């Protein structure tokens, strides 16, 4: 093989090979060398075997993965890919072969293997597809349908969509495109940042992939070949955000045990056999867990414990998701994106995209622009998108063809995508509030000479438009008559009304706002009207982040202050009490003192206090989400930032929260963290002469 590996000043791998297959092998191998522990955790997560080395805390995830049949779905999708596009199937296999070739060497560098006793396993050709599935199976937030069911039963049918907001476990992103007419160079810029749960090592990998057929820089998902979401080939660049589409359904299943020990499910045609078998989840330090895996004509059953004995009946929920139904995951798109030279070629490639459903922006050096939705959204009754629906009613079946996908022209010289109710509105139910999208559009409108360097200022913006309604409620508490505020509470009120609404890490007023907001959220959640929502429903622990009342109140605070079942007089009282509580306590610290990074790690770092404070907030462009009223720690933020410059790729910039290496102690393990915290970008270097070639 003629594979060459180079590194830039931040340790980012730049790979050069003779053809796409060799390059895929090189990508797999270098990823295994840099991130062996991360890859093995992802492989085990994808096949439901993490509890075997991480312990009982991971059992819930493993049980879900087994019940949802993710590994089997990946095998099914690879088999179909091999039939319809054998060249791409071999390309994926080459990546897995590269992982296997580098995994032992990478594992020797990673202390986590010794700490857990984990031995590197073998990657199959279907493993990258399974990793993609496990990474995105909760992306569309189907557990939100469980929450709406809980609201309907615990509060009332009329309030089912009361809490609609960017859910606590969904993923969002910012993205924007500036056309050449609005840039200093005359060529377009594509920029943004995906908001995801922050993991260490990071969920995105900066990499360059070069062969005679193409030369692309971008952000890869470790464990998956190519550059699915963000890339710059030189002539064309693309980026995505979550479209917030609804494309997974939950069905209420009636199930029964047959005399022979099998399972039947009641569907539109009456009782029909369901596939059933038992699997064992091994648990480090605990007893194995037996899992009965049941699949009906709608999909795998993911909730409900089956009783024993012939004739026994029970209920459960089945999950219907597109790859399980179609046998397609859209991997044939990945090599076509790498080879794209124009917007038209990116557009054509994305016609085969499946999931997650994304809003895409792209631009090329010929002036082409693209703003469209890509993915597969089934056509079905709207009630399917709201709550679990009866499996036995034919009206809830999926149509034979997917929904048409919207697209839009780029007007006013720019386009913005930030999970708000935009071009993807016909495809979803809940979207992010418009604050980030509106703020980005406002900032972009302020100049006709944008550069890649200037664009980083948009990434850093901390203006908190979501604060407006709470501040209006604070202002309405003025007056010194009956029910007037104490002197201390009035001082809090005055400071908040004078605040510039920026969530800067060193801002004492931002910290004060967060303290008042938290007190309001806790009091609203404690209101008697929400008594029926105190306890999460009878669902697996894995889904609890979607089902807790307090975080839901925090995310829906703007709505609950002006609408909903809490009377206006009680809202006024709650805001007054929050001002009094804050005024009577110790002065809140600056925002960054409590709003600190909280990344997920398979093996938590022993010093959790080492993580730094953050600027931003959930609805700021600099989005750093927490759970107001319960914790200021931020588990979700920018998993990467990028600016693709179509005038000169070397003027582009990118950053990830930690570094290129997943190995603790490596010089590039966390060397990008200081830049990420400051909202700066590392340079994209494409001149091979300015890179360092690795030997061997």
Read off the pLDDT of residues 86-120 as tens digits, 9 standing for 90 and up.
999 999 999 999 999 999 999 999 999 999 999 99
Neighbours of 245 (CB within 10 A): 26
Mean pLDDT of all residues in the chain?
A: 95
What is the three-class DSSP state of 605?
coil
Residue 233 clears pLDDT 90, i.e. is over it: yes
Question: At a CB cut-off of 8 Å and minimum separation 6, what does 511 contact?
Answer: 588, 589, 590, 591, 593, 594
Q: 209, 75, 219: which is closest to 133 by C-alpha? A: 75
Q: Minimal CA–CA distance to 213: which of 233, 229, 187?
A: 233
Does 1 have pLDDT greater than 80? no
Distance CA 580, CA 573 (A): 11
Q: By mean pLDDT, which of 210-224, 265-279, 530-544, 677-691 is the weakest?
A: 530-544
Q: Collect all residues with Cβ–Cβ distance below 8 Å to 610 and sequence separation of at least 6.
A: none
Alpha-carbon distance of 457 to 446, in angstroms, equals: 12
The pTM is what? 0.96
pLDDT (average), residues 493-516:
98
Provide the angle, in degrees to the nearest 10, between the axes of the packed helices 568-584 and 508-525: 130
Q: 598-629, pLDDT tens digit by residue?
A: 999 999 888 878 899 999 999 999 999 999 99
Over residues 325-332, mean pLDDT? 98
What size, in residues, is the chain? Answer: 696
| Structure confidence at residue 168 (pLDDT) | 41
**DSSP per position, 627-676:** ETTTEEEEEEEES-EEEEESS-GGG-EEE-SS-S--STTSTTSSTTHHHH
**pLDDT score for 693:** 96
Collapsing DSSP states into helix, strand and coil, what is residue 98?
A: helix
d(CA 392, CA 247): 20
DSSP code at position 270 = E
- pLDDT for res 696: 60
DSSP 499-522: ---B--TT-HHHHHHHHHHHHHHH
Beta bridge partners of 682: 654
Task: Identify the CA nearest to 524 among candidates 629, 369, 669, 407.
Answer: 629
Task: Say how far apart CA 433 and CA 557 lie, in whole Å.
Answer: 12
- Report the C-alpha gap between 670 and 201 in whole angstroms: 9
- The terminus-to-terminus CA distance of the chain in angstroms comes to 12
Whole-number pLDDT of residue 140: 85
Local structure of residue 561 (DSSP, 8 states)? T
Q: To the nearest 5 percent, what fractions of the chain are helix, strand and coil?
A: 40, 20, 40
pLDDT of residue 480: 55
pLDDT digits (tens, 9 = 90+) for 425-444: 999 999 999 999 999 999 99
Burial-class residue 308 by CB neighbours within 10 Å (0-12, 13-18, 19+): exposed
- Provide, rounded to the nearest whole percent, the portion of the chain with pLDDT above 90: 93
- Residue 193 CB contacts under 8 Å (≥ 6 apart), including other chains: 173, 174, 175, 459, 623, 638, 639, 640, 641, 642
C-alpha 678/C-alpha 696 separation (Å) is 36
Note the pLDDT of residue 169. 43
pLDDT in tens, 141-182: 899 999 999 999 999 999 998 987 644 445 579 999 999 999
Residue 229 in this model has a pLDDT that exceeds 50: yes
Could you tell me the pLDDT band of residue 344, with boundaries at 50, 70 and 90? very high
Instruction: Check pLDDT > 90 for residue 306.
Output: no
Q: Are 41 and 49 in contact (CB under 8 A)?
A: no
Reading phi first (left if > 0) and then psi (alpha if -120 to 50, else beta), residue 665 is in left
Peptide bond preceding 201 in cis form (omega within 30 of 0): yes
C-alpha pair distances (Å), 535 with each of 525, 539, 564, 630, 681: 12, 11, 20, 16, 44
- The answer to whether 323 and 133 have CB atoms below 8 angstroms apart is yes
| Model confidence band, residue 391 (pLDDT cutoffs 50, 70, 90) | very high
Three-class secondary structure of residue 626 per DSSP: strand
């Amino acid at each position: 093989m003629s594979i060459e590996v180079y590194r830039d000043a931040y340790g980012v791998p730049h790979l050069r090979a003779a053809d796409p297959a060799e390059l895929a092998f090189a990508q797999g191998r270098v990823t295994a060398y840099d991130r062996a522990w991360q890859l093995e955790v992802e492989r085990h997560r994808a096949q439901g075997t993490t509890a075997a080395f991480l312990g009982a805390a991971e059992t819930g995830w493993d049980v879900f993965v087994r019940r949802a049949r993710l590994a089997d779905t990946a095998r099914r999708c690879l088999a179909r890919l091999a039939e319809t596009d054998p060249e791409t199937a071999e390309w994926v296999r080459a990546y897995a072969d590269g992982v296997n070739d580098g995994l032992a060497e990478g594992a020797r560098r990673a202390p986590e293997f010794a700490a857990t006793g984990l031995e590197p396993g073998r990657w199959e050709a279907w493993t990258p597809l399974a990793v993609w599935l496990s990474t995105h199976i909760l992306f569309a937030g189907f557990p939100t349908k469980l929450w709406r069911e809980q609201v309907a039963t615990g509060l009332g049918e009329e309030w089912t969509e009361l809490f609609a907001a960017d859910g606590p476990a969904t993923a969002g992103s910012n993205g924007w495109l500036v056309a050449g007419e609005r840039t200093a160079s005359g060529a377009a810029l594509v920029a943004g940042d995906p908001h995801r749960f922050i993991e260490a090592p990071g969920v995105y990998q900066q990499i360059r992939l070069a062969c005679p057929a193409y030369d692309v820089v971008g952000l890869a998902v470790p464990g998956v070949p190519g550059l699915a979401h963000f890339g710059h080939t030189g002539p064309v660049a693309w980026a995505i955000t979550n479209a917030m589409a609804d494309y997974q359904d939950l069905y209420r299943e009636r199930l029964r045990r047959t005399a022979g020990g099998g399972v039947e499910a009641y569907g539109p045609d009456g009782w029909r056999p369901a596939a059933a078998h038992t699997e064992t989840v091994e648990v480090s330090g605990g007893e194995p867990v037996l899992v009965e895996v049941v699949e009906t004509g709608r999909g795998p059953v993911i909730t409900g414990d089956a009783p024993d004995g012939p004739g026994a009946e029970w209920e459960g929920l089945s999950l219907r998701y597109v790859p399980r139904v179609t046998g397609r995951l859209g991997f044939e798109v990945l090599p076509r994106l790498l080879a794209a030279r124009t917007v038209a070629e990116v557009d054509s490639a994305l016609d085969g995209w499946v999931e997650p459903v994304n809003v895409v922006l792209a631009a090329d050096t010929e002036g082409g622009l693209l703003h469209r939705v890509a993915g597969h959204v089934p056509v079905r009754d709207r009630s399917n998108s709201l709550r679990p629906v009866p499996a036995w009613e034919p009206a809830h079946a999926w149509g034979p063809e997917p929904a048409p996908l919207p697209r839009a022209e780029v007007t006013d010289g720019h386009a913005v995508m930030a999970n708000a109710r935009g071009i993807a509105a016909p495809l979803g139910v809940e979207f992010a509030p418009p604050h980030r999208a509106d703020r980005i559009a406002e900032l972009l409108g302020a100049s006709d000479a944008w550069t890649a360097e200037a664009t980083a200022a948009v990434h850093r913006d901390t203006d908190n438009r979501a604060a407006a309604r709470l501040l209006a409620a604070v202002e309405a508490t003025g007056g010194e008559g009956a029910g007037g505020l104490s002197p201390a509470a009035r001082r809090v009120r005055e400071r908040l009304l004078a605040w510039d609404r920026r969530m800067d890490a060193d801002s004492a007023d931002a910290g004060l706002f967060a303290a008042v907001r938290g007190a309001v959220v806790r009091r609203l959640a404690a209101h008697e009207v929400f008594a029926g929502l105190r306890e999460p429903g009878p669902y697996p622990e894995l889904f609890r982040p979607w089902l807790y009342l307090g975080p839901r109140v925090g995310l829906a605070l703007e709505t609950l202050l002006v609408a909903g079942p809490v009377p206006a007089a009680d809202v006024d009282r709650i805001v007054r009490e929050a001002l009094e509580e804050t005024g009577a306590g110790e002065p809140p610290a600056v925002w960054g003192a409590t709003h600190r990074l909280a990344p997920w790690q398979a093996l938590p770092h022993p010093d959790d206090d080492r993580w730094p404070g953050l600027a931003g907030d959930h609805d700021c462009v600099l989005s750093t989400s927490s759970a107001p009223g319960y914790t200021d720690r931020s588990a979700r933020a920018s998993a990467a930032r990028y600016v693709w410059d179509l005038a000169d790729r070397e003027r582009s910039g990118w950053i990830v929260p930690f570094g290129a290496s997943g190995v603790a102690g490596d010089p590039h393990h966390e060397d990008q963290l200081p830049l990420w915290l400051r909202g700066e970008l590392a340079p994209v270097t494409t001149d091979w002469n300015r890179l360092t070639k690795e030997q061997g």
